[in-house]
Amino acid sequence: MAKVQVLNVAVLDNPSPFGNPFQFEVTFECMEDLPEDLEWKIIYVGSAESEEHDQTLDSVLVGPVPAGRHMFVFQADAPNTALIPESDAVGVTVVLITCTYRGQEFIRIGYYVNNEYTDTELRENPPLKPDYGQLQRNILASNPRVTRFHINWEGCAEKMEDSENVDPAPNSMLPPSCTPGKAPPLGLLPDNSMDCL
């Protein structure tokens, strides 16, 4: 069973201008002292069409984690607008928060994000080239989509006991010697990153 249970994620500074950093206040509970850090990531889905446009906004290590209930605020910069297809800038997209332990993803929390112009004029006649300065980001905080995965808490990804619960995160397949932290290339993001939505 999972040693870490996410109890709540509060979306802070929401709604906010598009350029503001994302802020999630995560409350989680840990059953026993974790010898290793948890790795949290915020992934911004740039385009629903292709995961090519997914951006890992930030990844952060959280630790040390003794048994108990903990909270932290995960802040990450707004997505790089250059990587977002212009056609997808306005409208509904998704932001994902994932957590991995020993290279294995065990929870993935997805939120719908609606980007729209606050100005009625702009809303009715959106410019061809998105004006990010005028965009407002609204995260649908009341409706998180949570997917949990069984992982092997005792060892590394290779020793996974439950073959039926295959971790969708590709970096779980990396050998443990790969230093975590180098953000994986964007193209490596899971095919099914939208599955949970």
Least distance to other proteins, CB of residue 122, Å = 31
SS3 content of the chain, % helix, strand, coil (to 5): 15, 40, 45
| Residue of the chain from 62, 160, 173, 188 that contacts other proteins (CB under 8 A) | 62
Between 154 and 158, CB nearer to other proteins? 154
Site string (151-190) toward other proteins, x via CB under 8 A: -----------x----------------xxx---------
Cβ pair 79, 55 in contact under 8 A = yes
What CA–CA distance (Å, rounded) separates 166 from 155?
A: 15
Partnered with residue 97 across adjacent β-strands are 42, 109
Between 2 and 48, CB nearer to other proteins? 2
| Residue of the chain from 35, 91, 127, 187 that contacts other proteins (CB under 8 A) | 35
What CA–CA distance (Å, rounded) separates 162 from 151?
A: 8
| Residue of the chain from 19, 49, 50, 61 that contacts other proteins (CB under 8 A) | 61
Between 6 and 135, CB nearer to other proteins? 6
Check binding of 71 to other proteins (CB under 8 A).
yes
Q: CA dihedral in degrees (130, 17, 98, 110; nearest 10)?
A: -80
What CA–CA distance (Å, rounded) separates 104 from 110?
A: 18
Least distance to other proteins, CB of residue 39, Å = 9
Q: Does the bond joining 15 to the residue before it have cis omega, within 30 degrees of 0?
A: yes
What CA–CA distance (Å, rounded) separates 52 from 91?
A: 18
Instruction: Give the count of residues interacting with other proteins (CB under 8 A).
Output: 45
Interface with other proteins by CB under 8 A: which residues? 1, 5-10, 12, 23, 25, 27-29, 31-33, 35, 37, 58-75, 109, 144-146, 150, 162, 179-181
